[in-house]
Amino acid sequence: MLEDKSQELTPISKLGEFGLIKHLTKNFPIVQSSTKLSVGDDAAVIDAEGKKVVVSTDMLAEGIHFNLGYVPLKHLGYKSVVVNLSDIAAMNATPTQILVSVAVSNRFPVEALEEIYEGIALACNRYKVDLVGGDTTSSKSGLVISVTAIGLENEEQIVKRSGAKPNDLLVVTGDLGGAYLGLQILEREHSVFLANPNMQPEMEGYDYILERQLKPEARTDIKAKLSDLDIRPTSMIDVSDGLASEILHLSDQSKVGFNLYEEKIPMDDLTIQTADELNLNPAMAALNGGEDYELLFTISPNDFDKIKNHPDFTVIGHATENNDGNFLIARGSHQLIPLTAQGWDAFLKRG
């Protein structure tokens, strides 16, 4: 769990709750002008500066969302921030502050929490957001991290899930499926280690997909790129639970159907190679794997020429009338396969 186990570890009880919060948050500088009062008072004070406040929250629970057998604590802290900032980016808003709450059992020393907060600090610095509050408490069932992200944006710039119209183009950033394949490699090597602790994990050559799983990035850069292209999405969502699930969310909120072309789904070569190695369909990894944290959005067909050759964007389908339904158009055969949400659901029973 900790990189250096030879050091003497500090029990949390030595600091107490308030001492722990003060210790973990002492090195978080304020960078946002909208942050008027931060950690240390009963509540933070944020000046919305005439803009709308955009708020999202996510919780990561040990054994459900992450396995500490192979997830470094620093990466976990970083990822816990990124998954929340991704939600703010999906509203076409600018993230400005976060609050972090941690429930932790007594098997974790202070040094373990320091590693988590080191990752949180790296994310705050990378995305220029302020840590303005949170909480710590004890847990009898492992580690739980809850992050609330706050963003500010002019009302006319905010993009919801509900604005897509028939004939709008369906566009995704980056590439998909890598995070899921990275998880499969981590699970495979962890199982090998549990069976034989003397076996060295075979991680070489999988760097890109492992990073997609362990240290994802939020696409906060997309807002500026779309603005530069003079494109305002009609609807938008982040790809956290799998492409199919997110398309169905846009369909439900916008009251349209979608046709998705399998051959258009962008995937990295390593994702495809690893899927073949593991005897998996790479398209299914993109459709149902989740945790890619790319942005999925719709644009007017009139904006196609602005976006068609851009390296960050791929047109993967289009919106149809609501009663036409949602379909994957299979590669080669052009068979219409109904889209179903088989992605991540925290309440589904796992095998």
The CATH number of 169-338 is 3.90.650.10
- CB-based contact 182:211 (threshold 8 Å): yes
Tally the C-alpha atoms within 13 A of residue 326's C-alpha that lie toward its C-beta: 18
Residue 243 confidence (pLDDT) above 60: yes
Residue 347 has pLDDT above 90, yes or no: no
What's the CATH code, domain 12-157? 3.30.1330.10
Q: Provide mean pLDDT across the span 221-230.
A: 98
Q: Reply yes or no on whether the pLDDT at 286 is more than 80.
A: yes
The angle, 0 to 180 degrees and rounded to 10, between the axes of the packed helices 110-127 and 16-24 is: 40
Contact yes or no for 315/216 (Cβ under 8 A): no
Mean pLDDT of the chain, nearest integer? 92
pLDDT tens digits, one per residue of 65-108: 999 999 999 999 999 999 999 999 999 999 999 999 999 998 89
- pLDDT at res. 349: 45
- Span of 88-92, 139-143, 326-330 with lowest mean pLDDT: 139-143
pLDDT at 184: 96
DSSP type of residue 108 = S
Residue with tokens 């004939």: 167
Q: What would the pLDDT profile of 10-49 be if each residue is shown by its tens digit?
A: 887 788 777 887 888 888 989 999 999 998 888 999 999 9
pLDDT at 3 over 80: no
Which residues lie below 8 Å from residue 288, measured CB to CB, with a gap of 6+? 180, 242, 243, 244, 245, 342, 343
Please tell me the predicted confidence (pLDDT) of residue 69.
92
In the chain, where are the structural domains located? 12-157, 169-338
Tell me the per-residue pLDDT of 288-299, one tens digit each, with 9 for 90 and over: 999 999 999 999
Tokens coding 50: 């005439």
E strands present in 42-87 = 45-46, 52-61
Nearest to 31 by CA among 134, 147, 127: 127
